[in-house]
């Protein structure tokens, strides 16, 4: 068992954004989290990463309780994420974005400034390998703001990998991508999993989700209504009634 949520809830006043959700994610697994608009998917990721404190429930990584830990502490223990909206340092180069992600943890901050200004400070073998893995080596000296949309997405994932995570949470990585780009993204996600990183994937491109996940769970109005393999989910009448539609089980509306 890699990641576990038990009885996780998050209420905003009278709104139950996440309501008593329990999930277990195995090591080396690509686990999908899907659901219709406003179902609580992104809120769940925010609870896992510590952006939100839960109203109730716990989250643990490899048996260690993370519930009371700050975001940077969870990152140091192996939890990384991407966001729906790309968040890069546009005025820094591609390589510098990766360097900051790799060296910006709390336990390294006392040496951060000296490492930044040290001659050859960006000559890091791990950064170079990440650049090659993400097919961004030729762009390493380019400003992040000058990248194409697809390159920015690859850089954001590479930046998350720079923290050497055990679990990578991908929040709509194919947002704005074409079907072809989505297929390439699927190959990237599998390649990340092959590096030994377990993946939790939120995504609206159903061809991508159904094609690469080992298991998935479905949320609706903050509650888990189904869990199983992609084929289990596709044939589940509660899921189709919730958002896939009884006539077309491969279409999902946009999420807020």
For the segment 119-138, what is each residue's pLDDT rounded down to a tens digit? Answer: 444 456 688 999 999 999 99
Instruction: Inform me whether the pLDDT recorded for 160 exceeds 70.
Output: yes
Instruction: Inform me whether the pLDDT recorded for 250 exceeds 70.
Output: no
Instruction: Inform me whether the pLDDT recorded for 32 exceeds 70.
Output: yes
- Among 23-32, 101-110, 244-253, where is mean pLDDT lowest? 244-253
Alpha-carbon span 133 to 127, nearest angstrom:
10
**pLDDT at residue 37, as a whole number:** 81
Alpha-carbon span 256 to 114, nearest angstrom:
41
What is the mean predicted confidence (pLDDT) over 192-216?
Answer: 93
Q: Which tokens belong to 122? A: 């960006």
**pLDDT at residue 58, as a whole number:** 98
Strand pairing partners for 8?
21
Alpha-carbon span 176 to 196, nearest angstrom:
27
3-state DSSP assignment of residue 134 = coil
Cβ partners under 8 Å of residue 247, min gap 6: none
pTM for this one?
A: 0.84
What mean pLDDT, rounded, does the chain reach? 86
Alpha-carbon span 35 to 204, nearest angstrom:
9
**pLDDT at residue 86, as a whole number:** 85
**pLDDT at residue 243, as a whole number:** 64
For the segment 20-31, what is each residue's pLDDT rounded down to a tens digit? Answer: 999 999 999 999
What is the mean predicted confidence (pLDDT) over 84-106?
Answer: 84
Q: For the packed helices 149-161 and 125-133, what is the interaxial angle rounded to 10 degrees? A: 140
**Residue 171 neighbours by CB distance under 10 Å:** 22
Query: How would residue 244 be classed by pLDDT, with cut points 50, 70 and 90?
Result: low
Instruction: Inform me whether the pLDDT recorded for 114 exceeds 50.
Output: no
Instruction: Tell me how far CA of residue 208 lies from CA of 59, 97, 132, 173, in angstroms.
Output: 27, 27, 24, 10
Alpha-carbon span 212 to 99, nearest angstrom:
30
Go through the domains of the chain in sequence order and give each one's CATH number: 1-78+165-256 (3.40.50.300), 87-164 (no CATH)
């Amino acid at each position: 068992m890699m990641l576990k949520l038990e009885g996780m809830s998050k209420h905003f006043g009278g709104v139950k954004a996440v309501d008593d959700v329990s999930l277990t994610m195995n090591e080396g697994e690509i686990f999908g989290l899907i659901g219709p608009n406003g179902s609580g998917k992104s809120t769940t990721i925010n609870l896992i990463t510590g952006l939100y404190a839960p109203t109730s429930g716990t989250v643990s990584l490899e048996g260690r309780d993370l519930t009371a830990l700050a975001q940077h502490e969870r990152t140091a223990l192996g939890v990384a994420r991407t966001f729906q909206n790309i968040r890069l340092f546009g005025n820094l180069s591609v390589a510098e974005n990766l360097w900051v992600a790799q060296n910006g943890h709390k336990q390294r901050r006392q040496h951060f400034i000296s490492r930044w200004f040290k001659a050859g400070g960006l000559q890091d073998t791990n950064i170079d390998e990440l650049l090659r893995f993400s097919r961004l080596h030729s762009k390493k000296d380019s400003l992040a703001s000058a990248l194409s949309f697809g390159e920015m997405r690859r850089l954001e994932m590479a930046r998350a990998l720079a923290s050497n995570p055990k679990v990578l949470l991908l929040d709509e990585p194919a947002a704005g991508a074409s079907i072809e780009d989505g297929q390439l993204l699927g190959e990237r996600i599998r390649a990340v999993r092959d590096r030994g990183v377990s993946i939790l994937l939120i995504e609206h491109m159903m061809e991508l989700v159904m094609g690469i996940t080992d298991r998935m769970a479905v949320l609706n109005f903050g509650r888990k209504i189904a869990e199983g393999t992609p084929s289990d989910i596709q044939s589940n009448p509660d899921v189709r009634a919730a958002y896939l539609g009884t006539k077309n089980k491969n279409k999902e509306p946009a999420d807020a």
